[in-house]
Amino acid sequence: MADSSSVSGSGNAFNLDTVRDSLIRQEDTIIFNLIERARFPLNSPLYDQNSGLVPGFSGSLVHFIVKETEAVQAKAGRYENPEENPFFPDGLPSPIMPTTKYPKILYPAAVSINMSKTIWDMYFNQLLPLFVDKGDDGNYASTAASDLDCLQAISRRIHYGKYVAEVKFRESPKEYEPAILAQDKNALMKLLTFEKVEEMVKKRVEKKALVFGREVSLDTNFTSEKCKVDPSVVSRLYDEWIMPLTKQVQVQYLLRRLD
């Protein structure tokens, strides 16, 4: 069944409401993926640059798994979708089969806006230690697959800022044009920021984490108060990283909107 998680599917309407609906839908994906990752302990050897776990590959095991997974997905056409951004774009293979023609909503240079490196560093260095237990259960391949699910969901959400910016520009070009012509980042940031929306987002993701993360039993509504992922960490993820980075994507996008 089609849902509202994409504006680049054919026939989907493109306006600020549908774009915001997509962001709301993506919250579910991000929270469920965090819950899945929290099933495993940290498993730190996965992230060790010098673990030597992969013969002939210099880098961490998670780097190897993500790079190889992205190569397979590129062959199947995943990165033809402008909503998807690889973490390791260099040397990715081309699709080996015909792929859907995605509607051209964004201007072509938008492809060059890529925050993957920042997202990668934020996820492993800051976010991960906040929501997984310490320890090592040896489940490295499954843990890395789960990391990639989280990274892809967070990356899609942040890069979605391109669509948010495009729709905001189309809805009021006269408001944005002077700031774009002046290349005024601060003015653009002010124009595209809606503090009330951001407050709502933080509260909603915290509540979703509370609802999605508790055990459901048939006797009572919830068996325990313990959540699979701390709701305050999810709220912090949005407050400190996801929303600021989405806004940075929006600013970068708008700066070049009139090129």
Ligand X SMILES: C=C(O[C@@H]1C=C(C(=O)O)C=C[C@H]1O)C(=O)O
Q: Which residues contribute to the site for ligand X (CB under 6 A)? A: 20, 23, 164, 192-194, 197-198, 201, 243, 246-247
Cα Rg of the chain, angstroms? 19
Q: For residue 112, what is the DSSP state?
A: G
If the CB atoms of residues 132 and 243 are measured against ligand X, the closer one turns out to be 243
Number of H helices, E strands in the chain: 11, 0
If the CB atoms of residues 65 and 127 are measured against ligand X, the closer one turns out to be 127
Q: For residue 248, give the nearest of 133, 159, 181 by alpha carbon.
A: 159
* Rounded CA separation 192/40 (Å): 38
**CB 245 → ligand X: shortest distance, Å?**
8
If the CB atoms of residues 190 and 226 are measured against ligand X, the closer one turns out to be 190
**CB 242 → ligand X: shortest distance, Å?**
6
Give the angle subtended at the CA of 117 by the CAs of 111 and 122, to the nearest 5°: 130
Alpha helices (H) in 48-139, listed in sequence order = 61-75, 116-121, 128-131
Tokens 């090129």 correspond to: 259
**102 dihedral zone (left: phi>0; alpha: psi -120 to 50; beta):** beta
**CB 200 → ligand X: shortest distance, Å?**
9
If the CB atoms of residues 194 and 222 are measured against ligand X, the closer one turns out to be 194
**CB 254 → ligand X: shortest distance, Å?**
12
CA atoms within 13 A of residue 2's CA, in its CB half-sphere: 9
**CB 20 → ligand X: shortest distance, Å?**
5
12: phi then psi, degrees, rounded to nearest 5: -80, 135
The separation between the first and the last C-alpha atoms of the chain, rounded to the nearest angstrom, is 38
| Per-residue CA distances from 183 to 37, 187, 193 (Å) | 40, 9, 17
If the CB atoms of residues 199 and 215 are measured against ligand X, the closer one turns out to be 199
If the CB atoms of residues 193 and 217 are measured against ligand X, the closer one turns out to be 193
**CB 198 → ligand X: shortest distance, Å?**
5
If the CB atoms of residues 69 and 152 are measured against ligand X, the closer one turns out to be 152
Greatest Cα-to-Cα distance within the chain, rounded to the nearest angstrom? 62
**CB 170 → ligand X: shortest distance, Å?**
14
